[in-house]
Amino acid sequence: MQVHFWTNLVICFLLVFFQQEKASAGEHAPGWLDNWPQWRGPDATGSAPHADPPVSWSASSNLKWKAQLSGRGSSTPIIWGDQVFILTAVPTDRLAGDTDSPKPDPRFPKRTNPPGRYYKFLVMSFDRNTGQLRWQRTAAERVPHEGHHQTSSYAAGSPATDGEFLYVSFGSFGIYCYNLGGKLIWERDLGKMNTRSGFGEAVTPVVHGDSLVLNWDQEENSALYCLDSRTGKTRWKIDRDEHNTSWNTPFIVESLGRTEVVANGTKRIRGYDLATGRELWACGGMTVNAIPSPVCDSEAAYVMSGYSGSAARAIPLNANGDITDSSRILWQRKFGTPYVPSPLLADGRLWFTQHNQGLLTVLDAKTANPIIDRARLAGIKDIYASPLAAAGRIYFVGRNGTTVVVKQSDKLEVLATNTLDDEIDASPAAVGKELFLRGENYLYCLEAKVTAPQ
**Other residues' Cβ atoms within 10 Å of the Cβ of residue 221:** 14
Residue 221: predicted pLDDT: 96
3-class DSSP state for residue 385?
coil
Strands across the sheet containing 344-346: 344-346, 349-353, 359-364, 370-376
Cα–Cα distances in Å, from 313 out to 20, 264, 334? 36, 11, 9
What's the rounded Cα separation, in Å, for the pair 431 and 129? 12
What's the rounded Cα separation, in Å, for the pair 416 and 425? 20
Q: Among 454, 451, 452, 449, which Cα is nearest to 55's?
A: 449
**Other residues' Cβ atoms within 10 Å of the Cβ of residue 150:** 8
What's the rounded Cα separation, in Å, for the pair 435 and 80? 14
Q: Are 428 and 397 in contact (CB under 8 A)?
A: yes
Cα–Cα distances in Å, from 443 out to 27, 42, 439? 31, 20, 6
What's the rounded Cα separation, in Å, for the pair 222 and 170? 17
From first to last of the 454 residues of the chain, give the pLDDT tens digit: 554 545 454 444 443 433 443 433 346 899 999 999 999 999 999 999 999 999 999 999 999 999 999 999 999 999 999 999 999 999 999 999 988 888 778 889 899 999 999 999 999 999 999 999 999 999 999 999 999 999 999 999 999 999 999 999 999 999 999 999 999 999 999 999 999 999 999 999 999 999 999 999 999 999 999 999 999 999 999 999 999 999 999 999 999 899 999 999 999 999 999 999 999 999 999 999 999 999 999 999 999 999 999 999 999 999 999 999 999 999 999 999 999 999 999 999 999 999 999 999 999 999 999 999 999 999 999 999 999 999 999 999 999 999 999 999 999 999 999 999 999 999 999 999 999 999 999 999 999 986 655 5
Residue 27: predicted pLDDT: 64
What's the rounded Cα separation, in Å, for the pair 293 and 386? 10
pLDDT digits (tens, 9 = 90+) for 101-137: 887 788 898 999 999 999 999 999 999 999 999 999 9
Q: What are the beta bridge partners of residue 142?
A: 119
Cβ contacts of residue 450 below 8 Å, gap of 6+?
61, 62, 63, 64
Cα–Cα distances in Å, from 133 out to 37, 70, 129, 173, 259? 19, 12, 11, 24, 38
Q: What is the chain's alpha carbon radius of gyration, rounded to the nearest angstrom?
A: 22
Residue 98: predicted pLDDT: 83
3-class DSSP state for residue 128?
coil
Q: Among 256, 251, 250, 179, which Cα is nearest to 217's?
A: 250
Chain-centroid distance of CA 387 in Å reads: 12
**Other residues' Cβ atoms within 10 Å of the Cβ of residue 226:** 23
What's the rounded Cα separation, in Å, for the pair 36 and 43? 9
Cα–Cα distances in Å, from 40 out to 115, 177, 355? 31, 20, 19
Residue 256: predicted pLDDT: 86
Residue 388: predicted pLDDT: 98
**DSSP of 337-365, one letter per residue?**
-BSSSPPEEETTEEEEESBTBSEEEEEET
What's the rounded Cα separation, in Å, for the pair 202 and 237? 19
Residue 451: predicted pLDDT: 60
Cα–Cα distances in Å, from 400 out to 31, 176, 227, 395, 403? 33, 32, 37, 14, 9
Could you give all domains of the chain from N- to C-terminal order, each with its CATH number?
215-246+249-341 (2.130.10.10)
What's the rounded Cα separation, in Å, for the pair 104 and 117? 15
pTM of the model: 0.93
3-class DSSP state for residue 270?
strand
**Other residues' Cβ atoms within 10 Å of the Cβ of residue 1:** 4
The helix (H) or strand (E) run that includes residue 17 is helix 2-24
The helix (H) or strand (E) run that includes residue 182 is none
What's the rounded Cα separation, in Å, for the pair 218 and 216? 6
Q: Among 126, 118, 228, which Cα is nearest to 177's?
A: 228
User: How many CA atoms within 13 Å lie on the side-chain side of 27?
Assistant: 8
